[in-house]
Structure 1
């Protein structure tokens, strides 16, 4: 096993040197361990997709078992049963909880083939020097394992998660019914709490995500303001939920969804006309024939960053395979695949050759597409002539209002969230 490990590392380093860190590794064969390995990956439907599983297994020669759940279920299971997963895929808002529970172990950057290619969104919290970092837990604040065991911004060679998939989120709305707004000018989070959409607003059932969608909406409507929305006080949390509870009594909300497919169903069935959505849900709805626009709110986006974490129980050949899988995710194919559902990868240039010029121009550069584009399900999700709402990668990440965050008063907000759901 030691020899196998040495050979694999030597192969990756040698290949990188021969290509000058270039793109040849995208198509280069991987060196497999002799002993068959099964990796258990727990996460969300966002990244745990069958096409990804099949491609990774074929490239790496390992067996992957995917277990996809909703956010609350994931965090609960991960923090109590680290022996039941090898890798955990979710978002940065789970990191503090997982780290404090000691269910994930540090990842060594020297074992990440493409570490030096990862861009400044992950490393420094902003895509350009002039872009806003945004409120809350920008990824770099909780990425690096500090010498005292805490998480912080200073690089140490050990990280709490692999930075990979990320995006900016907002809300989707059905343009058959709601007139299309102007990005960054008329589209507003306040639409979520507008009385004219009473009974047709859907919200994601995630206390570290839906909470901020609703806080942004309440502030945009002038119902309240926050000293620091990324770290609300008890008083601010209470005021926000008093507003939301009153709206729920008035039957303002159509429902609370738990998975991406469920959000798409809410929209295509007509249950909601607008609401919290993730990019794949938008793609699914459009692919099913329901015209849904992903808003570019004038107040700014709620941003998120995907995390891939290594279980504290993952050792030996499983740990070696886990590093292979992490490196595979940044080797090109996966980044191109998730681009077709509107997501970005932390080292996008490596995926660029695997996207058509038209796809790259649309998804990353914000240019109009001269032909229909298909999503990951093979259906047309982008009509010819369309321009991505919010524009280019740089433009979208230059309008970040807040990041998905676990606040200091998270436990209190969690209690209020469940009270809100059950009211």
Structure 2
């Protein structure tokens, strides 16, 4: 059970063929999938989503620890997950960097001190920002003029959408409010009650003024928003940007001067998964880091935790564009087989190292999450 961005039919068919096991995918919007998994561990064997779901699943007793010894490629997983930094010089970003949630401690809590058990298998990850249509908004300069503030700019009134995921959309909105100079956060990854009140007062006022055209719940819906010209600028995930480009919509994935909102994919084992099904689940997890899936999801702009194993399965132009930040030497296809990158184009934000060295905040379930959740639904329903 997971989201549309990774639960793709081509991967399911390939996994079944190579592993000789039956795999069923249940993709849903990110809020729905988390709610279902936390409430009912019987509803899945494996769960895959983002690291901000870990605290909720762990506290609900919905997932069980993974044994590092059963993960074939653990030693190949790069420092990003294990330390929170892609390089020693990179900014770690506010909030829950994945290393803080990774290791199961002796007292049963999760923390950054390495142990032999982990709460999730690290796999896909990326940095997110917003996408904007250059037919309507003048193209900015990456890391210099592109800013989260654009989401709240009066010039874009009525043509803005946010992602309807309470643990994600709140940070897009907070980065925008801070970037616009409307408020300051002491720690954007751990907002106080009064900061949450102030942020949602700003957003409610904007909504009353007709600033937002909608809140999308899935990647296909975000693509439709752009295609139907309902929005000119919105929160976006990389596959949505790729799909827009593949359909001829000139969407730029911004490299905000304030830094990105980062996320890390997690693959988790249901607390109820046992026996031969558990063995099959480990086989499937190991398959995800075996090379092919990493090469496949690179074509929608996602990174894998052990990229060197996927590199031989990507063409040199693909690797140079997606990982090295170099100009595409030929047209490149997305996961849907359509051209998503034209020859000569460079990846928005540059290389893997460059992008992950500029993190403002990680997707996080804050201590005041329950309070922010009420505020989020108040915003949606106002």
Same fold (TM over 0.5): yes
- 2:79 equivalent to 1:135: no
Deviation at 1:274, TM superposition (A): 0.5
Q: Which has the larger radius of gyration?
A: 1
Where does residue 214 of structure 1 map in the other structure? 173
Between the aligned partners of 2:34 and 2:281, the Cα distance in structure 1 is 20
Where does residue 256 of structure 2 map in the other structure? 297
User: Please, which of 354, 358, 369 is the counterpart of residue 399 of structure 1?
Assistant: 358
- 2:194 equivalent to 1:235: yes
Q: Deviations over 1:185-225 (max 9, x none)?
A: 01000000000100000110001000000000000000000
Where does residue 144 of structure 1 map in the other structure? 103
- 2:258 equivalent to 1:328: no
- 2:4 equivalent to 1:45: yes
- 2:113 equivalent to 1:154: yes
User: Please, which of 108, 124, 127 is the counterpart of residue 168 of structure 1?
Assistant: 127
Q: How do residues 339-354 of structure 1 correspond to structure 2 at under 5 angstroms?
A: 339-354=298-313
Q: How do residues 13-412 of structure 1 correspond to structure 2 at under 5 angstroms?
A: 42-412=1-371
Deviation at 1:76, TM superposition (A): 1.3
Calculate the aligned-residue CA RMSD, in Å.
Answer: 0.5
Q: Deviations over 1:239-278 (max 9, x none)?
A: 0000000000001001000000110111111011010000
User: How many equivalent residue pairs?
Assistant: 382
Q: Return 5+ residue gaps in structure 2 as ranges.
A: none
TM-score of the pair, normalised by structure 2: 1.00
Between the aligned partners of 2:290 and 2:91, the Cα distance in structure 1 is 29
Q: Deviations over 1:403-423 (max 9, x none)?
A: 000000000000000000000
Between the aligned partners of 2:33 and 2:227, the Cα distance in structure 1 is 27
Deviation at 1:70, TM superposition (A): 1.1
